[in-house]
Amino acid sequence: MSTLAPTERHDLGAHGRSLILDARNIAVDFKVEGGIVQAVRDVSFQLHKGETIALVGESGSGKSVTARTVMRLLTKRATIAPKAQITLDGEDLLKKSANAMRSLRGNKIAMIFQEPMSSLNPVYTIGAQICEVLHLHNRMSRKAAMERARELLEEVQIPDPEARLRQYPHQMSGGQRQRVMIAMALANRPEILIADEPTTALDVTVQAQILNLIKELRAKYGMAVILITHDLTIVRQFSDYVYVMQSGEVKEHNTTEALFQSPQHPYTRHLLASEPKGRARPIELGGQPVLEGRDVRVAFTLKRGGAFRPDFFELVAVDNLSIKLQRHETLGIVGESGSGKTTFGQALIRLISNNGGQIYFDGEPIHDKDRHAMRPLRQRMQIVFQDPFASLNPRMSIRQIIEEGLIVNHIGKNERDRVERVRQALRDAGLPDTILMRFPHEFSGGQRQRIAIARAIAMEPEFILLDEPTSALDLSVQAQIIDLLRNLQEQKGLSYLFISHDLKVVRALCHRVIVMQNGKIVEQGTVDEVLSHPQTEYAARLIRAAFEIAA
Amino acid sequence: MLRFIATRVLYAIPVLLILSVVTFGIIKAQPGDYADYLKSMLMSQGNVSDVDAQKQADAYRAAHGLNAPLPLQYVNWVSGIVTRFDFGQSFYYNRPVGDIVAERLPRTILLALTCHILASVIGITLGIVAATRQYSWVDTLFGVVSFLGMTIPRFLLALIIIYILAFKLNVQELGSFNSAYYGGQPWSWGKFVDLVQHVWPVVFIATFGGLAYNMRVMRANLLDVLNAQYIETARAKGLSQSAVILKHAVPNALHPLIAYQGVVLPYMMTGEIEVAIVFGLATVGPAIVSSLGVGDVWVTATFMLVLSATLLVGNIISDILLALLDPRVRLGGEA
Amino acid sequence: MTEHPIDSAIPLPPDLAGGPLPAGAEDSADTPRVVQGRFAQKDEGYLALVWRRFRRSVVGMIGLVLVLLLLLMAIFADFFAPMDAKEQTISFAAPDSFSFTAPDGSFSLLPTIYPLVESDQLDPITFQPIMAPDLKNPTPLGFFVKGAPYTIFWVIPADIHFFGSSNGKPVHFLGTDKLGRDILSRGIVGSRISLTIALIVVALTTTIGTLVGISSGYLGGRLDTWVQRFVEVVLAFPQLPLYLALTTLIPVTAPSNVFIAFVIAVMAALGWAQLSREVRSKTLALSRIEYVRAAIAVGSGDFRIIVRHILPNVMSHIIVAVTLAIPTVVLLESFLGFLGFAVKPPLISWGLMLQDAGSFSVIGSYPWILSPVVFVLIAVFAFNALGDGLRDAVDPY
């Protein structure tokens, strides 16, 4: 146990509020095929009434397992070390019977989870699910429970709560579902709320709303909140005390200001340094745009209304938008989910077809070319996808994956030449060139994304469409990829179209930015202009939410 | 809802038509027809000379329209069905096919339905038990049982059971639904018991196979569902383990099973037919086999049609059930 | 994790450097769940991974061994059969009785066979001599005995049998059929035809089903809609009655080869539909997956995408389906045979052997006539077990 992370927190005796939860020496082992995994090695923390503590770490740090240990929600394959102790109101939670724990869950301690899309049972109405937790811990009539459920929905600011009670989860958006989760968790006025990455899967404006909602309710009811996250901005804005975790241990803990001002542990420093930083290198603009779109329109016909009353309607994903990308420029397209940014990007490189408008690549019209006619141009425009796991064929070796483009476009004189190009592409992407015979599953997310980038640059394109390439990666890995992209652009004179929902990354990488909402361009300009002086209300809200998590 | 059913039904009709044409074509492609059978019967059992038998056969043919060009025969038959519910005449039994259908079809459906329901209920229950006790001896035992159930050929099981019953236990009246005593009587508890006594091997065999199938699928589905996030949510609310499984997991695990009915139904039907043929029960399967043997065309064609229609109806019902049970299908998404 | 030190500019995320991740409550959704044992290690290609996972399944390994033995037996059927399959001895003879004690009282692993001969006693009712084991003249057994001549691969003449009587006398482990032919030998020889039919039918249905499924799923559009409608019609046929009807079409007097071809065609006519559906849905899912879109973005043509990207990822499912389809065909062939629709002599198949078992009286008097089902059972069990083991092993990443 390093001296930077003693078992007791620095302000233990000196805290203004009363101690409610005291966790000491938590260690959890999991039995898996092939052995035992130590998910949590030694974690201790203390929680006072009315405050928010944060457990911060990247994937694999053990923060989620720790949270579930408090609720004793672990699977049968998990063993908690005997010396672990979690004291709530003078009683050790780990020694309680199963029945006793059940009466605490949803009652005194409540938890909300990361994936709002799958956290609610799809076959029961919202009202039924909220009433379930009410009936479980209180004696209430059905009518009283429904009334209370309605009140709870009002409290979490869901519009039209009466109607929502009878709706099903799939009829609500992600943000609304998370509000319902919060309502369910708070139904019995718990003393402790554990929030496991509650906003990671949500849009940035919704994220701000949800986090502020939790903050308000916490203040109103005097709850204590354990916030689990990997996002440092959230930690900074919403927590009072921070525990930094890595590989199942707490590396450092301190009050929020103290930690951010003077981080002691190298890992903490590394984390803090991983926030996207830097700016795009200045370029001179001019000349023919590499990619241009005029009045591009993409519309889909969707079905709404279910099996018995099908209702077809047209969804306009991209509503007559125009765009110009200059050489050597990085243009960012920013928007929340449903804004149409991915559709726009893929339509511009003709991976999906557009229903109107013109698209020009290096002056040449491509909007009416079919797939066959597009093939000679493919070499010059490439794409990197968001999901590093789905973008590499698990059955192909690294060499085959990268070589495919070379073979198909007849690049390289012979096989040796091609292999050399593959090696060069790997080196450019920061990977050793000895991994040709390996398979994708041997690599982590960040490494796979590098392989995807290598695949793109092996073709020596002029332009790359980057579709949220860093969204699925850990923070520190994200920073590396951003650096890599910047360097590659400088070295090879690439132009990037960078689609993202993360304004921090956009600020670090892009020259200009376009803000989209509901298929329309809401604002555009250079990064500095838009981020410091947004002209529209929506852009302003987006920026506030992204950088300060203010709603 | 009505529109949903109406579209499905409308869609099924051309399918039925195509099926009827194909089956008709196949049956008629058989060399020879009933008149030939008649002729051979006359010659072998009636000692009629070849020439005379041929004359009688030809007369029979002419009288029953077997000489008409094939398309005409088909059209007559189909129009008969559509306008008068007349499915033609059975040459062998010398009765309207409609009567035979009315006799045998309800029994087949009842039998198949009973087996199907039993197989579903028992299979699902066992699947739930196996999934909740994964890796325990119960799970392994059920795994073996389901493997056996899906591997052992049903007609073989039927043969073995017949052998044991007939030759070791001296059971009479294997091939009927009721013993002679109860045959003509109105329904009573006694008759029901008698029915079960006669019919249990068929039900057992057909159910065994279907049960194994359902159990496997249910177990796999449930294991998948138990990994879902909403299960954790339910546990975090403080629900007991059994409540979590029965209230939250099982309803979601049932959906794929219902959707799978399109595969399970023909399987159950085939099984029931196989066993019925071995046992010689008076149901649809044996009727098809025997009519095929003698060239009793309309019986074969009608029963095939009827079977196909049953399958299609079964599919429609399962579609409706799925829509009713899954609010995502029923209501669509809005978000 | 890997031997070559990857560029130090890329610190390996702790989950992979330290070891496997917990399979229980996990952290953010993007964590690669690389748990040793279940997933691949190091340089493992796909085949090596499948083999490693397959080896852990007891049922699968048993199935594999059985299948290999079956195939071996089918190829070298004459070698393994103790007697000539066409030789006729006593009709409807019961299986020879055997005991593990030699006549001199010692225990021997090799059983002693007492052949059935007409004994001195007469049946009181029929006044026919009762068949009883001839305790005085046991038939000696041995391995690699000389027996009825046959040809290996129709070319090389040989007469060594794997197991049989060493003095040339007939030995019937499973009794004889109506014409006095040894059932065990016929069963072994019959496996050739039954398995061949099954393999060919499955090969046909798989090929057709895969072709239809992939093209329908990949090309989409109007072609897909119409093909799917066609598939629905095919699937709506009640299968068994249709097979029955189709088999009656086979002309009784046709030569054997035509007959087999017909039987194969009949079974293949309906069997491809279900597979095509499953292949289609997998293809649909795969067409949208990112690495396929990346291949399109790189400029690959349709053919290349289907062959290099879609097919390999659908193949696992196809292989399992193939393995599980073989028993279905074997069963169907035997059931049809039982009902009277089987191949014609001089060909032997399990279905044909069961044709004799078609009446209850025969079964009652000579229950051993049913023993061909043992062959069917073993074959069905073996392939199902193999398919089960494969199914677990070929799970996609």
Residue C252 is predicted with a pLDDT of: 65
- B236 CB neighbours in chain A (<8 A) are 71, 73, 105-106, 110-111, 113
Mean pLDDT of C230-234: 83
- Hey, what are B146's tokens? 């389901």
* Interface test with chain A among C26, C291, C305, by most A beta carbons within 10 Å: C291
Residue A134 is predicted with a pLDDT of: 93
- Cβ count within 10 A of residue B137: 8
Q: Least CA distance to C16: which residue of chain A?
A: A444
Q: Is B287 on the interface with C (CB under 8 A)?
A: no
Q: How far is CA C288 from CA A257, B66, B148, C218, C283, in A?
A: 46, 55, 39, 10, 9
Contact assignment for C240 to B311 by CB distance below 8 Å: no
Contact assignment for C293 to A438 by CB distance below 8 Å: no
- B228 CB neighbours in chain A (<8 A) are 118
Residue type, B335: A
Distance CA B281, CA B287 (A): 9
- Specify the higher pLDDT residue, B294 or C54: C54
Contact assignment for C24 to A379 by CB distance below 8 Å: no
Closest CA to A120 of A200, A67, A178: A178
Distance CA C293, CA C305 (A): 9
Q: Least CA distance to B313: which residue of chain C?
A: C236
pLDDT at A471 over 90: no
Q: Least CA distance to A398: which residue of chain C?
A: C43
Q: What residue spans of chain C are helical by DSSP H?
A: 14-18, 46-55, 58-75, 77-80, 183-219, 221-235, 239-248, 256-287, 290-298, 302-304, 311-339, 350-355, 360-365, 372-393
CA dihedral C7, C8, C11, C15 (to 10 degrees): 70
Contact assignment for B288 to C244 by CB distance below 8 Å: yes
- A106 CB neighbours in chain B (<8 A) are 236-238
Closest CA to A55 of A245, A320, A195: A245
pLDDT at A195 over 90: yes
A120 pLDDT band (50/70/90 cuts)? very high
- Neighbours, chain A (3 or more CB pairs < 8 A): B, C
Pairing state between β A224-229 and A192-196: parallel
Contact A165, A134 (CB under 8 A): no
Burial (CB count <10 Å: 0-12, 13-18, 19+), residue B18: middle
Is the Cα torsion angle A363, A367, A369, A372 positive or negative in sign? positive
Q: Least CA distance to A101: which residue of chain B?
A: B238
Contact C232, B312 (CB under 8 A): no
pLDDT at C7 over 70: no
Residue C10 is predicted with a pLDDT of: 36
Give the closest-approach CA distance of A332 to chain B in angstroms: 27
Give the closest-approach CA distance of C226 to chain A in angstroms: 21
Contact assignment for B237 to A133 by CB distance below 8 Å: yes
pLDDT at A188 over 80: yes
Both ends of chain C: CA-CA distance in Å?
Answer: 18
Contact assignment for A473 to C31 by CB distance below 8 Å: no
- C269 CB neighbours in chain B (<8 A) are none
Contact assignment for A408 to C14 by CB distance below 8 Å: no
Inter-chain contacts counted by CB atoms under 8 A, chains A and B: 100
- Cβ count within 10 A of residue B266: 21
A27 pLDDT band (50/70/90 cuts)? very high
Instruction: Write the DSSP symbol of residue A536.
Output: S
Tens digits of residue pLDDT in B260-316 = 776 777 777 777 788 888 777 777 778 887 877 777 777 888 888 888 888 888 888
Mean pLDDT of C258-285: 84
- C331 CB neighbours in chain B (<8 A) are 153
- A437 CB neighbours in chain C (<8 A) are 43
pLDDT at A270 over 80: yes
* pLDDT < 70 regions, chain B: 30-32, 65, 170-185, 262, 332-335
- Cβ count within 10 A of residue A306: 19
* Interface test with chain B among C27, C248, C274, C365, by most B beta carbons within 10 Å: C248
Residue C367: asked if its preceding bond is cis (omega within 30°), the reply is: no
Contact assignment for B236 to A110 by CB distance below 8 Å: yes
Residue C100 is predicted with a pLDDT of: 66
User: How many residues can be counted in chain A?
Assistant: 551
Q: How far is CA C320 from CA A433, B217, B260, C386, in A?
A: 37, 16, 19, 9
Q: Please state the separation of Cα A492 from the chain's center in Å.
A: 30
Distance CA A96, CA A116 (A): 30
Residue B329 is predicted with a pLDDT of: 72
Contact assignment for A306 to B334 by CB distance below 8 Å: no
Contact C319, C395 (CB under 8 A): no
Distance CA C27, CA A445 (A): 14
- B289 CB neighbours in chain C (<8 A) are 244, 339
Residue A219 is predicted with a pLDDT of: 92
Q: Is C248 on the interface with B (CB under 8 A)?
A: yes
Rounded to 5 degrees, φ, ψ at C289 are -75, 155
Tens digits of residue pLDDT in A329-343 = 999 999 988 888 999
Task: Give ipTM to 2 decimals.
Answer: 0.83
C396 pLDDT band (50/70/90 cuts)? low
Which residues is A112 bridged to in the sheet?
A195
Give the closest-approach CA distance of A301 to chain C in angstroms: 15
By Cβ distance, the residue of C28, C35, C293 closest to A32 is C35
Q: Domains along chain C?
A: 5-40 (no CATH), 64-75+186-393 (1.10.3720.10), 91-181 (no CATH)
Q: What is the residue whose two structure tokens read 């409610």? A: A20
- Specify the higher pLDDT residue, A144 or B162: A144
Q: Tell me the pLDDT of chain A averaged across its residues.
A: 89
Q: Which residues contact C161 (CB under 8 A, 6 or more apart)?
A: C78, C79, C80, C81, C82, C83, C144, C145, C146, C147, C148
Q: How far is CA A352 from CA A297, A344, A370, B5, C135, in A?
A: 11, 9, 11, 35, 85
- B169 CB neighbours in chain C (<8 A) are none
Q: Tell me the pLDDT of chain C averaged across its residues.
A: 76
C99 pLDDT band (50/70/90 cuts)? low
pLDDT at A242 over 90: yes
Residue A56 is predicted with a pLDDT of: 93
- Hey, what are A124's tokens? 């029961």
Contact assignment for B29 to C249 by CB distance below 8 Å: yes
Distance CA B90, CA C248 (A): 19
Q: How far is CA C218 from CA A544, C70, C84, C262, C276, in A?
A: 45, 38, 53, 32, 12
- Hey, what are C103's tokens? 């006549």
Residue C20 is predicted with a pLDDT of: 30
- Hey, what are B295's tokens? 């060239």
A415-428 vs A445-457: helix crossing angle, rounded to 10: 130
Percent share of chain C, pLDDT over 90: 9
pLDDT at C39 over 90: no
Q: Is A118 on the interface with B (CB under 8 A)?
A: yes
pLDDT at C12 over 60: no
Give the closest-approach CA distance of C342 to chain B in angstroms: 14
Q: Least CA distance to A79: which residue of chain C?
A: C24
pLDDT at C130 over 80: no
Give the closest-approach CA distance of B253 to chain A in angstroms: 11
Distance CA B127, CA B216 (A): 6
Closest CA to B267 of B159, B112, B148, B57: B112
Q: Is B166 on the interface with C (CB under 8 A)?
A: yes
Q: Which residues contact A71 (CB under 8 A, 6 or more apart)?
A: A101, A105, A109, A111, A194, B236
Helix (H) or strand (E) holding A90: none
Residue C30 is predicted with a pLDDT of: 31
Residue B184 is predicted with a pLDDT of: 66
Residue type, C183: I
- Neighbours, chain C (3 or more CB pairs < 8 A): A, B
Contact assignment for B330 to A308 by CB distance below 8 Å: yes
pLDDT at A456 over 90: yes
Distance CA A538, CA C373 (A): 75
Mean pLDDT of A274-300: 85
Q: Least CA distance to B30: which residue of chain C?
A: C249
